[in-house]
């Protein structure tokens, strides 16, 4: 099936009567240089499947997710192999957008694609392709706590370790008060049009935004932090694969 047909099938699934919906966006155009692999890390094997397959499965199984947009690199030779393995029912839920040079460009491309059939006030959950251990209960908690807000928010974890501020030579300058510090995770969940506008503004301003919440913050808004599960790790280094397998072996939700 061509990418155009994939996208058309998802568009047809969205009916004309609108009630607020939830969509997932997965930027999967990165190359994962720190993994030291000859293939992008989202396609590395993990517990019998690729990392990306596990990540997709999380959202395909969730009853509140209406569809998924995956941003991939043009000419990606691995995506079609994954798509062929999906059931016909799951294929109807997935659309594809072109990846960009940075994460923010990939996400924005996916959002523009999504806006062809989603409504401006629909919710979008942006999730890292390399976070395959996300729990269904974390998605539930995110939706429950943010659904009545206007500014959206994200999963995160309070800082548990002592935090040091260092100079350019890695000498400690001071110990940072960690009481108000959190580690940002994904998904990060925002209304569709709000996130489009925020990312467009950030890119136009040449602002360095490493996640969606940063773009929202540039608008003067305050996303809500929702505590997530510590097993929601991002696979970045080779040793993370073994850690992810351990988390997957634990009792499911």
pLDDT at 34: 58
The Cα 142–Cα 150 span in angstroms is 14
Domain that holds residue 108: 19-244
Name 112's Cβ contacts closer than 8 Å, sequence gap at least 6.
Answer: 97, 196
Among residues 160, 26, 11, 167, which one has the least CA distance to residue 92? 11
Provide the pLDDT for residue 158.
Answer: 96
In this predicted model, what pLDDT tens digit does every residue of 165-211 receive, in sequence order? Answer: 999 999 999 999 999 999 999 999 999 999 999 999 999 999 989 99
DSSP characters for the chain? --HHHHHHHHHHHS-SS----EEEEEE-----GGGT-SS-GGGSEETTEEHHHHHHHHHHS-TTEEEEEEEE-TT-SSHHHHHHHS-HHHHTTEEEEE--SSHHHHHHHHHHHHTTTS-TTSEEEE--TT-TT--HHHHHHHHHHHTT-SS-EEEEEE--S-EEEE-TTS-EEEEEP-TT-EEEEEEEEEEHHHHHHHHHHHHHTT---SSHHHHHHHTT--PEEEE--TT-----STHHHHHHHHHHHSPP-
In this predicted structure, what is the pLDDT of residue 7?
A: 57
Is 1 contained in some domain?
Answer: no
Q: How many domains does the chain have?
A: 1
Answer yes or no: is 180 within a domain.
yes
**Low pLDDT (below 70) residues in the chain:** 1-18, 31-37, 251-253
Distance CA 212, CA 229 (A): 20
Rounded Cα gap, residues 213 and 203, in angstroms: 14
Does 106 fall in a domain?
yes
What is residue 4's predicted lDDT score, i.e. its pLDDT? 47
Residues 6+ apart with CB under 8 A from 238: 35, 36
Provide the pLDDT for residue 173.
97
| CATH number of the domain to which 122 belongs | 3.90.550.10
Domain assignment of residue 11, yes or no: no
Q: 77 lies in a domain?
A: yes
Structure tokens at 79: 């995506």
Is 93 within the bounds of a domain?
A: yes
Entry pTM: 0.90
Residue 2 lies in a domain: no
Q: Residue 12 falls within a domain, yes or no?
A: no
Q: What is the pLDDT of residue 253?
A: 52
Q: What pLDDT does residue 199 have?
A: 98
């Amino acid at each position: 099936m061509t990418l155009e047909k994939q996208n058309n099938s998802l568009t047809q699934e969205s009916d004309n009567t609108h009630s607020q919906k939830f969509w997932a966006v997965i930027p999967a155009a990165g190359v994962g240089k720190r993994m030291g692999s000859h293939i992008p890390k989202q396609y590395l094997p993990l517990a019998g499947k690729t990392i990306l397959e596990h990540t997709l499965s999380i959202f395909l199984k969730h009853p509140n997710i209406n569809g998924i947009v995956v941003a991939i690199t043009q000419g990606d030779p691995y995506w079609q192999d994954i798509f062929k393995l999906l059931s016909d029912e799951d294929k109807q839920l997935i659309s594809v957008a072109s990846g960009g040079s940075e994460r923010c460009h990939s996400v924005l491309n996916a959002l523009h694609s999504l806006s062809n059939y989603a409504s401006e006030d629909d919710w979008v959950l942006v999730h890292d392709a390399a976070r395959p251990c996300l729990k269904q209960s974390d998605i539930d908690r995110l939706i429950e706590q943010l659904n009545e807000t206007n500014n959206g928010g994200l999963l995160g974890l309070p800082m548990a370790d002592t935090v040091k501020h260092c100079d350019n030579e890695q000498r400690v300058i001071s110990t940072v008060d960690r009481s108000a510090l959190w580690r940002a995770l994904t998904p990060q969940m925002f209304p569709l049009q709000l996130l489009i506008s925020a990312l467009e503004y950030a890119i136009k301003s040449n602002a360095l935004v490493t996640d969606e919440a940063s773009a929202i913050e540039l608008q003067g808004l305050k996303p809500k932090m929702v505590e997530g599960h510590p097993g929601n790790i991002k696979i970045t280094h080779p040793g993370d694969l073994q850690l992810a397998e351990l988390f997957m072996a634990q009792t499911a939700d």
